[in-house]
Amino acid sequence: MDAPPPLRPVELPRASQGWAALRDDVRTGIWRWRPALGLAADIPEITLGEGHTPVAALPRWGAAHGLPRALVKLEYLGPTGSFKDRGAAAVIAALLHQGAASIVEDSSGNAGAAMAAYAARAGLAARIFVPASAPQAKRDQIGGYGAQVVAVAGTREDVARAAEEAAADQDAAYASHARHPAFVEGTKTFGLEVAAQLRADPPRHLVLPVGNGGLLLGAAKAYQELAAAGFGVTCPRLHAAQADACAPLAAAFAAGADDPLPVQARPTLAGGVAVGRPARGAAVLAALRASGGSAVRVTDAEARAARRDLAHLEGLDVEYTTAVAFAAAARLRATGVVQPHESVLIAATGSGLKDAGT
Amino acid sequence: MDAPPPLRPVELPRASQGWAALRDDVRTGIWRWRPALGLAADIPEITLGEGHTPVAALPRWGAAHGLPRALVKLEYLGPTGSFKDRGAAAVIAALLHQGAASIVEDSSGNAGAAMAAYAARAGLAARIFVPASAPQAKRDQIGGYGAQVVAVAGTREDVARAAEEAAADQDAAYASHARHPAFVEGTKTFGLEVAAQLRADPPRHLVLPVGNGGLLLGAAKAYQELAAAGFGVTCPRLHAAQADACAPLAAAFAAGADDPLPVQARPTLAGGVAVGRPARGAAVLAALRASGGSAVRVTDAEARAARRDLAHLEGLDVEYTTAVAFAAAARLRATGVVQPHESVLIAATGSGLKDAGT
């Protein structure tokens, strides 16, 4: 396959035309934001109804953690149970538009499931490369969509290399959530929704679990483009939550470095953020700093406690990777980065059903 | 606890005021339909963002089954992964409004998880009675929300009796998805959404998995009330999908009986529709007949094939209980009840993550 074509330069309708000009409420999925997406004008609309997720208050959890204005956006209400569906819809549509008949992707879980689902939806064959250590439940979800699951021994980077080589050898398209530019166009719809849903009372802080940073970069891009179009929005302070066991971005942020620092990763419950060498790491660090945000690392014990807390106090069951963001929000309050009167929006990126029984 | 208060008589805004009068798009969850709900005017709004689910076309699955106009409504995109969240939000709000401090419920799965989650959200203690045969994964999901899970040996009716007795003995409220009238007010929002989302091209047929019939009765009530308010809608032909192993409604429908027929239930993959004595069975049968619909039974082998088909052809992973409805839709086409040019909406009621690895 050829390299991805450059994105279409986005020229948003001017703010004077209002939000309705940005959004088509008859369409479902990310395509309702089509005027705001930097994708080819004649791209096919591959959708399973992803996105358009609700925001809910967290009164009881917030009270317990000194965050009376805590909010959650239920990003796990996607067809495959994670926010990755937004990006997968965009990447698969872009590859179909380029003439792909099959795709490869490397993932240890949620991105693999999302790409497998949207590939099936588009009638594309899919091969998903996973680390040999990937949990059986994740492999089952990927294989359930008819994708071929290929286990690779070695590091996470070895798995990515195997996928890249397969794409080069076999003329399959590399549907990389970590590298393909359309992925961030898809996740940008998260930021557009936050800005639109909360325009009456915008959040001061946005806390997200960050592995490769696709969701965080989508949010930053949405605010940047909306501001340029005159929508009068201010990007929330962006905070990246990482697992203590594998925190190349948090380490770099603390050290003042422009690039992710090399880490000796340890095992963690939060597999979705355990990315030792994030491809878009420098862009993530720049976005954190530009917004006045930070990067936070939390332990598996904190993530476990946060998951339980959230389920018992609010009836929300999230996967451990997501729980990392809730633990990080509590930590940001405890360390004074977040003030009690400030609103904090936390992205619940993955369903607890993905970590059932653990 | 006292018996549930009677529902508020619904007086919908007249159709001349338009859909906007029915719906408040700033609120999330079922409460955006508040003007249309027959609940107390000052009821608290307990919500986790349930409902407001997308509708998607099924071009590849539809082509494979001679149903070119097949559509799916992704009801499993609820906070706990099933449509039960709509009803649970309404029941828990009603009980909180009545002064309940704790609830009991009996369920073999999805309803128990939904009630446990919304009870946690409302700060109510919950005890969920489950059959001793309930799968561990279902118990884990319920217990994850902090609810006490009580296993009862015997029939499904023995489990219900144990819950009812506990409610009487211990002054806990009986949050029964099978009996509490607020549950159907919650599921009615499904019907309101279908009517609103597809008003330009309404579906001719609606196929749903039916155990107790809460979703089907909610849909029927929505259309009845909208028609009475002058909205000019016609209820789709309602088709109840049941598992061959436990089909008291399909048996009654075929026999022309007004009440569910007694059945000797066998084990089935589709646990969510395996209700031997549905409390609202007579109402379900009446609604099927009034709409010109039917009841269909399918085998576990058909459900298994339908689940696989849907995942491979469209990228949608549903639980076996939901797959029963897809198998039933194919059967309705094969037997000529559904004509090739007619549109068919199928309710995807439960996430495949609930049946992961099976």
The string of pLDDT tens digits covering residues A212-249 is: 999 999 999 999 999 998 888 999 999 999 999 999 99
CA proximity to B302, closest of B232, B354, B241? B241
Indicate the burial class of A76 (C-beta count within 10 angstroms; 0-12, 13-18, 19 or more): buried
CB within 8 Å: A54 and B28: yes
Question: For tokens 């489950």, what's the residue?
Answer: B130
CB < 8 Å to B314, chain A: 48, 120-121
Q: Which amino acid belongs to residue B118?
A: Y
Residue of B nearest to A89 (CA): B315
Q: Which of B56, B117, B137 sits opposite A48 (nearest CB)?
A: B56
CB A326 within 8 A of CB A318: yes
Give me the DSSP letters along B210-227: -SS-HHHHHHHHHHHHHH
Domain B88-174 CATH class label: alpha beta
d(CA B241, CA B324): 6
The count of C-alpha atoms lying within 13 angstroms of the C-alpha of A198, restricted to the half-sphere facing its C-beta, is 30
B230 to chain A, closest Cα gap in Å? 23
- A86-174: which CATH number, 3.40.50.1100, 3.40.50.150, 3.40.50.1820, 3.40.50.11540? 3.40.50.1100
Give me the DSSP letters along B18-36: -GGGG--TTS-GGGGGGGG
CATH 3.40.50.1100 placement within chain B: 55-82+180-355, 88-174
B316, two tokens: 């949608």
CATH 3.40.50.1100 placement within chain A: 55-82+180-355, 86-174
Q: How far is CA B314 from CA A116, A151, B81, B262, in A?
A: 10, 24, 19, 37
CB B195 within 8 A of CB B202: yes
Q: Which amino acid belongs to residue A76?
A: Y
Apex CA B211: angle with CA B276 and CA A311, to 5°? 115
Chosen for mutation from B23, B31, B145, B198 (greatest number of chain A CBs closer than 10 Å) is B145
Apex CA B29: angle with CA B27 and CA B31, to 5°? 65
Residue-wise pLDDT tens for chain A (358 aa)? 556 666 777 767 777 777 777 676 667 799 999 988 999 989 999 999 999 999 999 999 999 999 999 999 999 999 999 999 999 999 999 999 999 999 999 997 899 999 999 999 999 999 999 999 888 888 999 999 999 999 999 888 899 999 999 998 888 999 999 999 999 999 999 999 999 999 999 999 999 999 999 999 999 999 999 999 888 899 999 999 999 999 999 999 999 999 999 999 999 999 999 999 999 999 999 999 999 999 999 999 999 999 999 999 999 999 999 999 999 999 999 999 999 999 999 999 999 999 988 8
ipTM score here?
Answer: 0.92
Chosen for mutation from B50, B55, B77, B194 (greatest number of chain A CBs closer than 10 Å) is B77
CB within 8 Å: A121 and B315: yes
CB < 8 Å to B54, chain A: 28-29, 48-49, 52
* Strand A125-131 versus strand A55-57 pairing type: unpaired
CB within 8 Å: B354 and A351: no
Residue of B nearest to A135 (CA): B357
CB A129 within 8 A of CB A152: yes
Indicate the burial class of A289 (C-beta count within 10 angstroms; 0-12, 13-18, 19 or more): middle
CB within 8 Å: B145 and A312: yes
CA proximity to B273, closest of B88, B111, B92? B111
Three-class SS state of A66: coil
Task: Indicate the Cα dihedral angle B152, B154, B160, B166, nearest 10°.
Answer: -40
d(CA A185, CA A219): 10
A290 to chain B, closest Cα gap in Å? 31
A174, two tokens: 């590399």
CB within 8 Å: A48 and B121: no
CB < 8 Å to B312, chain A: 120, 145-146
Three-class SS state of A328: helix
d(CA B269, CA B264): 16
CB < 8 Å to A79, chain B: 74, 77, 315-316
Q: Does domain B55-82+180-355 have CATH number 3.40.50.1100?
A: yes
Computed over every residue of chain A, the mean pLDDT equals: 93
